């Protein structure tokens, strides 16, 4: 029954599979799994009997062509990675085993997290075996074979010196995450500062060179890249796993129309592979063994899970885990809009900031905070400017000196450092919340630009006769003050650096779990272009109203 | 302490490198757009003027994230590493400022030159120097992408400090350092402007 593609496998894999196939025929377990074994034989026999002249499903096509196209990852260490010309990893070895069980050759097609489902639906692959979590949202598009072949929680890792032990500690911590992972929803709720990466290697590179404080990914990958025995020494010496959450089963997927044919054979093969400990053995080879595999071996070596007709007892199977965003109240309208764009212009963009409940909430919050931040930054810029001017004409020399020093330093300091300084001072006095972060950002941006406005006012005062009013100084340097106000509006997104939940932050959060970047960045760019243009136009009106009529000179 | 100082100055060279690259590209594009704004027909000049207006209004920080996201989908970071692609994103973002500022400075230069006021025209040099200084300071936004420049170095160092007061002290020291550098640069630029204008008085 078991046919191996010997050339494609390593010596140890072959040996393992030989032992497994031996066990399949002689052990008491073989008796337990007999219905599954018979079901596989019957299914393959039935499909082969139809012949190759009238191919009706993918399983027949696979058997007739002698090859199965399997979508696999090529950049996911220990699971599917291309080294030189060779693909290696847990999933690659298991894919070879499945092909061998079907008696065909495995043809590997590289897929990514973003295109694996599309490749399957479009018929470019027959089976996807590519680190894919089983969720109801994906289940609606493709069929996941069960039992699942693997499961992994999301693990958070970081420097050993950082004291972080739960999701609650992630507030305002910079966190590198994979783009489009549903686990990011929980991380964004914790108000971590999210940096996204579409390939795991780039993410770990970013952790190595300090772009982020922590990294969150499937534990399977964190083990081999950062913390486990097979991780590079430079990584495991510096970093450790802080905590993990949300274990999700990984499934292989076939097209819905292949559920009862190819899907069923794959499910039966996987149940046997669990029962005989083959998946544990392959996982050991690649350093990714988890307790899930041990539990599944227990389950699938139990005869009670196999029904007489080759189906499984439903209580032995794990359900898909709901992780995606729930539909928003306006999701229907935006789904229609997305479909209209797709049908008429072939634009296949998603709008998760409108169609998802969490997405919409984050988006609206982001816009409100951004508008408030821009207005607050403008007001604080003007107030700081006037304050510096007022202090510069104080009768006390010490006040004048201090004002001059603070004004010069604030005016010439990088805004990021001013933000961090304000953040440190404010968070030492108040409990650091989103509101406090907005106030801190408004103060820092206002100080930076207000100092420039104050400097202009002080210089303007020097050109005026003694005893002139402050309004006269404002009228003389209204152009410079206007430039400071525009700069304050432009600088407001920098507040994201200290965890202020403005539009850049919230759209980054939405992108992190939806994977939709083009629509999010287009909206972000449009929003800021419009708001800055609005500030330019309104400040121009205000400047025209304030400026002195030609020929009129301010007097004491 | 000496190690930290050495590390800081080494990181500061990254700011200067980023600023210099952004300035050089900004100067080339700024000069080209300035020539079009001054010499081309109404439609082209207005179109370029509109583009410069958009660049001037675009928040540099947002542009940096847009560029970083774009590069992460390209093979750039695969071939040269994440830090390289982050640096390029910072340069692209700074270009929004340098191109628009250099374009404005070049337009002023060309207008004065056309009127024969050479001394005023050559105020371009201190103006460009000012743009360079502002660009070097603005390159600190790279800290948000983890580019190993002076602010990133400072913030990483601050994280190793035990108390909040020590961290605040470190950040204030670096802020003062930056302020002194920038004020000295502005002073030098002002001296240069003064000297150019004094030399050019007869042509006024």
- In order, the DSSP letters of A400-454 are HHHHHHHHHHHHHS-HHHHHHHHHHHHHHHS---HHHHHHHHHHHHHHHHHHHHH
Asked if the model's pLDDT at residue A539 lies above 60, the reply is yes
| Residues of chain B found within 8 Å of residue A490, distances taken between Cβ atoms | 57-60
CA distance A36 to chain B (A): 44
Across the range A529-537, mean pLDDT stands at 92
Helix axes A518-546, A503-514, angle to 10 degrees: 170
Q: Would you give the DSSP letter of residue B201? A: G
Q: Which of A217-231, B12-26, B119-133 has the highest mean pLDDT?
A: B12-26
CB contact (8 A) between residue B174 and residue A417: yes
Residues 6+ apart with CB under 8 A from A91: A72, A73, A79, A80, A129, A130, A131
Which residues in chain A (115-174) have CB-CB distances under 8 A to chain B?
A: 161, 174
Number of Cβ within 10 Å of residue A444's Cβ equals 30
Percent of chain A with pLDDT over 70: 91
For strands A67-72 and A105-110, give the pairing: parallel
More confident position, A436 or B175: B175
d(CA A140, CA B81): 37
Asked if the model's pLDDT at residue A205 lies above 90, the reply is no
The pLDDT value given to residue A549: 63
pLDDT bracket for residue A32 (50, 70, 90):
low
Asked if the model's pLDDT at residue A26 lies above 60, the reply is no
Mapping DSSP to helix (H, G, I), strand (E, B) and coil, where does residue A250 land?
A: strand
Q: Mean pLDDT, chain A, as a whole number?
A: 85
| Residues of chain B found within 8 Å of residue A416, distances taken between Cβ atoms | 140-141, 143-144, 151
Across the range A506-532, mean pLDDT stands at 85
> What superfamily would CATH give domain A354-546?
MetI-like (1.10.3720.10)
CA distance A50 to chain B (A): 45
Q: pLDDT tens digits for A428-446?
A: 887 667 788 899 999 999 9
Q: pLDDT tens digits for B124-156?
A: 888 888 889 889 989 999 988 888 899 989 988
Across the range B189-195, mean pLDDT stands at 79
Predicted TM-score (pTM) above 0.80: no
Q: pLDDT tens digits for A238-288?
A: 999 999 988 889 999 999 999 989 999 999 999 999 988 999 999 988 888
With CA atoms as reference, the chain A residue closest to B169 would be: A421
Mutant choice from B50, B58, B69 vs A, greatest count of A C-beta within 10 A: B69
Q: pLDDT tens digits for A56-108?
A: 889 999 999 999 999 999 888 889 988 888 999 999 999 999 999 999 999 99
CB contact (8 A) between residue A195 and residue B145: yes
Q: pLDDT tens digits for A407-424?
A: 989 988 888 999 989 988
The pLDDT value given to residue A95: 96
CATH 3.40.190.10 positions along chain A are 6-148+250-316, 152-246
Across the range B94-109, mean pLDDT stands at 92
pLDDT bracket for residue B202 (50, 70, 90):
very low
With CA atoms as reference, the chain A residue closest to B58 would be: A529
- Say how many domains are in chain B: 1
pLDDT bracket for residue A5 (50, 70, 90):
very low
| Residues of chain A found within 8 Å of residue B137, distances taken between Cβ atoms | 412, 414
Q: pLDDT tens digits for A103-143?
A: 999 999 998 877 788 889 888 999 999 989 898 878 888 99
Contact A495, B40 (CB under 8 A): no
Q: Is A318 on the interface with B (CB under 8 A)?
A: no
Tokens for A359, please give them: 């997405």
Q: At the top level of CATH, which class does the domain A152-246 belong to?
A: alpha beta
Instruction: Give the CATH number of the domain where residue B185 resides.
Output: 1.10.3720.10
Mutant choice from B14, B57, B141, B190 vs A, greatest count of A C-beta within 10 A: B57
Q: Mean pLDDT, chain B, as a whole number?
A: 85
Asked if the model's pLDDT at residue A46 lies above 60, the reply is yes
Asked if the model's pLDDT at residue A469 lies above 70, the reply is yes
pLDDT bracket for residue A7 (50, 70, 90):
very low
Tokens for B81, please give them: 């590493």
The pLDDT value given to residue A471: 85
Instruction: Out of A26-35, A45-54, A409-418, A473-482, pick the least confident.
Output: A26-35
More confident position, A145 or B77: A145
pLDDT bracket for residue A358 (50, 70, 90):
confident
The pLDDT value given to residue B204: 38
Asked if the model's pLDDT at residue A20 lies above 70, the reply is no
Domain that holds residue B102: 2-203
For strands A174-178 and A193-197, give the pairing: parallel
d(CA A437, CA A446): 14
Range list of β-strands (E), A255-320: none
With CA atoms as reference, the chain A residue closest to B177 would be: A413
β-bridge mates for residue A174, sequence order:
A193
> What superfamily would CATH give domain A6-148+250-316?
Periplasmic binding protein-like II (3.40.190.10)
The pLDDT value given to residue A199: 67
pLDDT bracket for residue A2 (50, 70, 90):
very low
Across the range A298-326, mean pLDDT stands at 83
CB contact (8 A) between residue B66 and residue A525: yes
In which order are the strands placed within the sheet that holds A67-72?
A105-110, A67-72, A127-128, A239-254, A143-159, A214-218, A174-178, A193-197
The pLDDT value given to residue B30: 93
Q: Is A525 on the interface with B (CB under 8 A)?
A: yes
The pLDDT value given to residue A4: 38
- From first CA to last CA, the distance across chain A in angstroms is 105
What is the DSSP secondary-structure string of B141-164? GGGGGT--SHHHHHHHHHHT-SSH
With CA atoms as reference, the chain B residue closest to A195 would be: B145
Residue A347: how many CA atoms within 13 Å on its side-chain side?
Answer: 14
Burial (CB count <10 Å: 0-12, 13-18, 19+), residue A536: middle
Tokens for B196, please give them: 């150019």
CB contact (8 A) between residue A493 and residue B62: yes
Asked if the model's pLDDT at residue A198 lies above 70, the reply is no
d(CA A347, CA A163): 45
Across the range B22-37, mean pLDDT stands at 93
Report cis status (omega within 30 of 0) of the bond before A147.
Answer: yes
The pLDDT value given to residue A480: 86
Across the range A26-44, mean pLDDT stands at 71
Mapping DSSP to helix (H, G, I), strand (E, B) and coil, where does residue B54 land?
A: helix
The pLDDT value given to residue A203: 80
d(CA B87, CA B147): 6
Q: What is the largest CA-CA distance in chain B?
A: 63
With CA atoms as reference, the chain B residue closest to A519 would be: B66
Which residue reads 């029904």 in tokens?
Answer: A307
Q: Is A543 on the interface with B (CB under 8 A)?
A: no
d(CA A503, CA A522): 12
d(CA A203, CA A382): 41
CB contact (8 A) between residue A412 and residue B77: no
């Amino acid at each position: 029954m078991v046919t191996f593609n010997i050339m494609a496998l390593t010596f140890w894999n072959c040996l393992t599979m030989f032992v497994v196939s031996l066990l399949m025929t002689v052990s008491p377990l073989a008796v337990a799994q007999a219905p599954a074994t018979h079901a596989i034989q019957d299914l393959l026999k039935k499909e082969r009997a139809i012949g190759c002249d009238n191919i009706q499903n993918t399983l027949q096509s696979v058997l007739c062509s002698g090859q199965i196209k399997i979508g696999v990852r090529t950049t996911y260490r220990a699971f599917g990675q291309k080294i030189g010309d060779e693909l290696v990893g847990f999933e690659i070895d298991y894919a070879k085993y499945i092909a061998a069980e079907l008696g065909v050759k495995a043809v590997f097609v590289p897929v990514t997290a973003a295109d694996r489902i599309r490749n399957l639906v479009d018929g470019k692959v027959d089976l996807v075996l590519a680190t894919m979590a089983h969720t109801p949202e994906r289940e609606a598009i493709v069929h996941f074979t069960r039992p699942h072949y693997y499961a992994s929680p999301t693990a958070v890792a970081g420097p050993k010196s950082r004291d972080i032990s739960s999701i609650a500690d992630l507030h305002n911590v910079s966190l590198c995450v994979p783009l489009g992972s549903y686990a990011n929803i929980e991380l964004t709720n914790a108000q971590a500062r999210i940096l996204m990466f579409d390939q795991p290697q780039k993410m770990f590179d970013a952790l190595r060179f300090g772009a982020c404080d922590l990294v969150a990914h499937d534990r399977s990958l964190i083990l081999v890249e950062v913390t486990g025995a097979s991780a590079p020494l430079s990584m495991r010496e510096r970093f450790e796993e802080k905590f993990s959450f949300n274990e999700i089963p990984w499934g292989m997927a076939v097209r819905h129309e292949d559920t009862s044919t190819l899907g069923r054979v794959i499910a039966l093969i996987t149940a046997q592979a669990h029962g005989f400990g083959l998946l544990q053995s392959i996982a050991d080879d690649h350093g990714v063994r988890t307790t899930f595999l041990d539990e599944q071996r227990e389950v699938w070596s139990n005869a009670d899970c196999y029904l007489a007709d080759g189906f499984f007892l439903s209580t032995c199977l794990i359900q898909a885990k709901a992780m995606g965003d729930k539909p928003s109240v306006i999701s229907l309208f935006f789904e229609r809009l997305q479909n209209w764009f797709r049908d008429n212009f072939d634009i296949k963009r998603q709008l998760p900031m409108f169609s998802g409940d969490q997405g919409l909430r984050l988006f609206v919050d982001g816009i409100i905070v951004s508008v408030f931040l821009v207005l607050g930054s403008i007001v604080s810029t003007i107030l700081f400017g006037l304050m510096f001017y007022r202090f510069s004409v104080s009768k006390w020399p010490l006040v004048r000196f201090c004002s001059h020093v603070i004004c010069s330093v604030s005016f010439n300091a990088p805004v990021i450092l001013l933000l961090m300084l304000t953040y440190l001072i404010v968070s030492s006095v108040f409990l650091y919340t989103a509101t406090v972060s907005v106030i801190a950002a408004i103060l820092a941006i206002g100080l930076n630009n207000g100092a420039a406005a104050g400097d202009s006012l002080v210089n303007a005062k020097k050109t005026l006769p003694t005893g002139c009013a402050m309004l006269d100084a404002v009228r003389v340097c209204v152009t410079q003050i206007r430039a400071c106000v525009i700069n304050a509006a432009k600088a407001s997104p920098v507040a994201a650096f200290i965890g202020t939940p403005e539009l850049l932050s919230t759209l980054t959060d939405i992108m992190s779990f939806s994977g939709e970047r083009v629509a999010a960045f287009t909206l972000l760019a449009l929003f800021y272009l419009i708001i800055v243009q609005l500030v330019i136009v309104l400040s121009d009106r205000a400047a025209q109203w304030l400026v002195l009529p030609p020929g009129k000179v301010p007097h004491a | 302490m000496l190690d930290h100082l050495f590390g800081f100055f080494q990181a500061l060279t990254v700011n200067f490198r980023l600023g210099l690259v952004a300035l050089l590209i900004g100067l080339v594009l700024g000069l080209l757009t300035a020539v079009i704004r001054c010499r081309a027909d109404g439609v082209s000049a207005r179109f370029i003027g509109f583009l410069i207006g958009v660049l001037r209004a675009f928040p540099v920080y947002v542009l940096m994230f847009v560029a970083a996201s774009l590069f992460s989908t390209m093979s750039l970071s695969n071939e040269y590493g994440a830090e390289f692609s982050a640096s390029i994103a910072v340069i692209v973002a700074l270009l929004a400022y340098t191109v628009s500022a250099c374009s404005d400075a070049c337009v002023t230069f060309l207008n004065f030159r056309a009127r024969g006021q050479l001394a005023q025209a050559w105020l371009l040099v201190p103006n460009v120097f000012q743009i360079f200084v502002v660009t070097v300071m603005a390159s600190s936004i790279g800290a948000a992408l983890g580019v190993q420049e002076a602010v990133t170095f400072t913030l990483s160092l601050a994280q190793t400090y035990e108390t909040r007061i020590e961290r605040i002290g470190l950040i204030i020291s670096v802020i003062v350092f930056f302020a002194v550098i920038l004020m000295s640069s502005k002073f030098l630029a002002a001296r240069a402007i003064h000297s150019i204008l004094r030399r050019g008085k007869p042509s006024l």
